[in-house]
Amino acid sequence: MIKLVALDMDGTLLNERQELGPAVAETIRQVRARGVRVVLATGRPLPGVMNFLPELNLVSDDDYAIPYNGALVQTTASQKVLIEHSLSYADYLRLYAQAAKFGLTMIAEDQSAMYTDAPLLTHRELFEAVDTNMAVKFAGPQQIARDIEFSKIMFFADKPLLDKAMPQLDPKLQTDFYANRSEDFLLEFVSKHASKGNALRELATKLGLQADEVMAMGDSHNDVSMFDFAGTGIAMGNAKDELKAIATGVTASNKDDGVAVALRQYVLDAQQ
């Protein structure tokens, strides 16, 4: 029986307008009322998750979130950090040098703000700040404290420029960090110990749950690690083919309340 459901947000929980549909919200509330834990697992920081939690009834001391693609596991009520895999100032400098070499915009995030010394931000980079409710601090290596710990560092660029830069980046970045190209214009770096799947496994262990009691839902590359761990992995109808290939099943798209459809089939109906 499924006792924990991990949900990706963008492209999964949220529809094409980045909204939480009423049918999805109601079904999640029903699932939570049955005693099944629902955990949002996302590349967003926790501030970019908080606005959705009250409507989902995920605001108690016993509710959790996995932000930053698994760099953190936090409680939603107190925002207490249970698990953390962060990046150091030295990691920041190393990635900064690569971004500068290939003309990529770099943004680094800690738990409260986004840091960049880019003179101009594109609409995509500004959208990242607005959509995640994060303050933007214009600071470079000389202005940032040496003891800072970052949860995530991102490279932004138009697709042709990022396509060209990717093969030329230091190949050790792929082994020294967990790198994920979550969008055509975005390459994300977190600790090599961090991924949604690792965070989900660590949280399940803390809660005394086995993999076959865990269900994960997603649509993109950064959800693969969750499917590798969870006993049940459900791909959205709009998911990448690689995710559908390893999924237990495929539900409707995020436009068509796919999360609600899957939760009814695999959780609510299964408990009757």
Question: Which residues touch 70 (CB under 8 Å, ≥6 apart)?
Answer: 41, 85, 178, 190, 194, 195, 196, 197, 198, 199, 200, 225
**Beta pairing, strands 113-116 & 135-138:** parallel
Consecutive H or E run containing 118: none
Q: What pLDDT, on the 0 to 100 scale, is given for residue 247?
A: 98
This prediction has a pTM of 0.86
Q: What pLDDT, on the 0 to 100 scale, is given for residue 130?
A: 63
* Residue 112 banded pLDDT, cuts 50, 70, 90: confident
Q: What pLDDT, on the 0 to 100 scale, is given for residue 131?
A: 73
pLDDT higher than 80, residue 116 = yes
Residues, the chain: 272
Q: What pLDDT, on the 0 to 100 scale, is given for residue 272?
A: 66
pLDDT higher than 90, residue 135 = no
| Integer angstrom CA distances of residue 174 from 48, 104, 132, 159, 178 | 27, 17, 26, 19, 7
Catalytic residue among 8, 91, 110, 219: 8
The mean pLDDT value for 168-175 works out to 95
Q: What pLDDT, on the 0 to 100 scale, is given for residue 128?
A: 74
pLDDT higher than 70, residue 37 = yes
Nearest Cα residue to 34 out of 8, 7, 57: 57
For the question of residue 8 being annotated catalytic, the response is: yes
In this predicted model, which residue has the larger pLDDT, 133 or 32?
Answer: 32
Domains and CATH numbers, the chain: 4-84+194-271 (3.40.50.1000), 89-191 (3.30.1240.10)
Asked if 133 contacts 123 with a C-beta cutoff of 8 angstroms, the reply is no
